[in-house]
Structure 1
Amino acid sequence: MRKQFLFLFLATIVGSLSHAQTKGTKVGYIDMEYILQNVSSYTEANAQLEQKAQKWKQEIEVKKVEIDKIKVALQAEKALLTKNLIEEREAEIRFLEREMLDYQQKRFGANGDLMLQKRQLTKPIQDQVFTAVQDLAESNKYDFIFDRSSDLTMLFAAKRYDISDQVLRALTRTDKREQLSKKQLEQQEARESKEDAIDSNEALQERQKLLDERKAARDKILEERKAAVELKKKEYYDRKAKLAAEREDRKNGTVSANTTTTSTSKETDTKLTDESAQQKLDDMKAQKAEERKKLIEDRKKVLEERRAQILKQRDSILKSREQK
């Protein structure tokens, strides 16, 4: 019967929407579970209620363990007990089991403490949500607003029709206003007007969503860069601390064998490298000295040849004068 009623209800809505398409019917929906999970007062109270539920579960578990112990003891002593004693023990066990089930029903039953306190916790916020939804429907000219988490089955709903975030903003505005000064209240109202303008325009909604996504991407990149910088700083300070510890160990003579071997190996490699470089330098110096010596000898040879030639020319001139 209930399914038939829902089917008829949906058929009526679909017919109304089809009939009113030419009028530009405006439809929206909310997700009550999503809204409740994002209301701080509800999440805090729900966490406390969950702690209570865990405590009740522990109490039930303790009762169950006690009953199991009595059952095991009865099974072990059954051969030594009379029929009357066995019946008394079994009656006691049945009484304890019935008591445990009654307690479990009292805490977790359909009308138990958990469900009752959940309804008490949810109802004030649901009333606020309904009020906010009515205000949004009147201000933004909605024709239909559905609750996605209700018994009414929604096989598909486009995200652009989801007004849950608008309802959340409406819920938080009242709390914020009570804590703001006059100037801050004016600024808050200006921001709210801007948000309402965005909510009433689908193009602005898409643009705002794109801006939010870009901002989230930038924030993520900045966080990653910050994490990388922090990691480099940590590596630097760790390396610095390690070097300081090694110097302190060498100073105190407590350096380990591995460290000593490594240091010796490094010193040997450094020494070999220095010796090789010195050898190359000496070879270069010797080569330059040899080249300079050869150059001096060549110049000396040229000078001697020129001197001999000059002396020969002078002797030739003298002989020609003597002949005259």
Structure 2
Amino acid sequence: MKTKKIIFLTLAIFSFSYMATAQRGVRIGYIDMEYILESVPEYREASIQLEGKVQRWKQDLEKSQREVDQMKLNLANERVLLTAELIEEREEDIKIKENEILEYQQNRFGPNGDLMIQRRQLVQPIQDQVFNIVQEIAESKKYDFIFDKSADVVMLFAAKRNDISDEVLRSIERAGRRVQAENKKEKREIEQQEKLDEKQDEMSEREKELQKKKEEREKAMEDKKAEREELMAQRQRERDSIRAAKKQEYEERRQRLLEERQRRRDSIAEVRENRD
């Protein structure tokens, strides 16, 4: 059901884009959330710490499972020596231990377990920051649509010039520097750096536009070249067709003349034979 909704949403967006293109150029960009997250130092450090916890949780599970396996092995070896009451007691201990393992596994790795909760806590602040930055970029640079390349909406092709992930990352870095600034001098330096970054973004934007126009010109030239080649090929086919038709007509006329000559010769020969 979720996949159908995503497909429907994608088709609806691109249908709208197609209709809007007829009136004006639709501006589309995208980000790669996975790339952004992996490029944020705080996220990387927290991910490493979380991975350390995950490994410890897995080790705890493996240790408990080994204990259960040993309890089962001991029971199997000693069963013939034990009374029914002791066997039942041992089996109950094993069952309790297995339930504890299942509960621990759910608490750590289940849908609402510690792993999912801590991952959400780790990602959410950055996702919120990215969302706000994307809104600002979309409004200031007049984007119609901005997609997340790493989300469920399938992108069969994405031109690199439409990727604004680095622009989002620079905004995150600028926000981090502003928070860490401790005095007026540092703040002034950060402001100057931000102005330089903004100029760089503007230059990058112009470069993207120039690249886009260049690609459009190259495509138009290729289309015209293909059109010329097709026209030349069509003319060549017409010339070949006319030449073949003339050749056929010549062969047919020549054949008729030869046949006519042969009939005259046969007629003359027949008259001579009758005289003799």
Q: Which TM-score applies when normalising by structure 2?
A: 0.70
**Matches of residues 84-103 of structure 1 in structure 2 within 5 Å?**
84-103=85-104
Summarize deviations over 1:140-186 as a string: whole Å, max 9, x none: 11000011122222222222211111111110011123426254134
Superposition map of 1:102-141 within 5 A: 102-141=103-142
**Are 2:195 and 1:198 aligned?**
no
The SS at the match of 1:201 is helix
Name the structure 2 match of 1:60. 61
Query: In the TM superposition, what whole-angstrom CA distance separates every residue of 1:101-127 from its partner, at most 9, and x where no partner exists?
Result: 110110000110010011011111100
Give 1:136 deviation, angstroms. Answer: 0.7
Report the 3-state secondary structure (helix = DSSP H, G, I; strand = E; otherwise coil) of the residue aligned with 2:111: coil
Ranges in structure 1 where 5+ consecutive residues have no aligned partner: 207-324
Contact preservation (8 Å) 1:132, 1:167: yes
- C-alpha distance in structure 2 between counterparts of 1:31 and 1:203, whole Å: 18
**Secondary structure, counterpart of 2:89 in structure 1:** helix
Shift, 1:205, TM fit? 8.3
Rg larger in structure: 1
Larger RCO, structure (CA 8 Å, separation 6 or more): 2
Tell me how far apart the structure 2 counterparts of residues 34 and 76 of structure 1 sit (CA, whole Å): 55
Conserved? CA contact 1:166–1:199, under 8 Å:
no
Offset at 1:8? 2.1
Q: Counterparts in 2 of 1:1-324, with a 5 A limit?
A: 1-22=1-22, 23-178=24-179, 179=181, 181-203=186-208
Is residue 106–residue 112 contact of structure 1 (8 Å, CA) maintained in 2? yes
**SS of equivalent to 2:146:** strand
Q: SS state of the match for residue 25, structure 1?
A: coil
Query: Distance in 1 between the 2:164 and 2:177 partners?
Result: 20
**Would the alpha carbon gap of residues 26 and 91 (structure 1) be closer, same or farther in structure 2, given more than 3 Å must change?**
same
Q: Which amino acid is the alignment partner of residue 189 of structure 2?
A: Q
Q: Using the TM superposition, name which of 183-192 and 33-42 deviates more.
A: 183-192
Q: Work out the CA distance in 2 between the residues paired with 1:95 and 1:153.
A: 46
Distance 1:91 1:147, change over 3 A: same
Distance 2:57 2:191 in 1: 48
- Counterparts of 1:81 and 1:203, CA distance in 2: 81
Cα pair 1:199 1:205 within 8 Å, conserved: no
> Kindly, what percent of the aligned residue pairs are identical?
50
In the TM superposition, residue 28 of structure 1 has moved relative to its aligned partner by: 0.5
CA shift, 1:194, in A, is 1.6
Shift >3 Å, 4+ stretches: 202-206
- CA distance in 2 between counterparts of 1:76 and 1:164 reads 62
Q: Deviations over 1:224-254 (max 9, x none)?
A: xxxxxxxxxxxxxxxxxxxxxxxxxxxxxxx
SS at match of 1:52: helix
Checking the alignment, whether the CA contact within 8 Å between 2:149 and 2:155 is kept in structure 1 is yes
Pair 97,205 (structure 1): closer, same or farther in 2 beyond 3 Å: farther
Q: Deviations over 1:276-307 (max 9, x none)?
A: xxxxxxxxxxxxxxxxxxxxxxxxxxxxxxxx
| Contact kept in structure 1, 2:174 and 2:194, CA below 8 Å | no
For these two proteins, the number of residue pairs brought into alignment is 206
Structure 2: unaligned runs, 5 residues or longer? 212-276
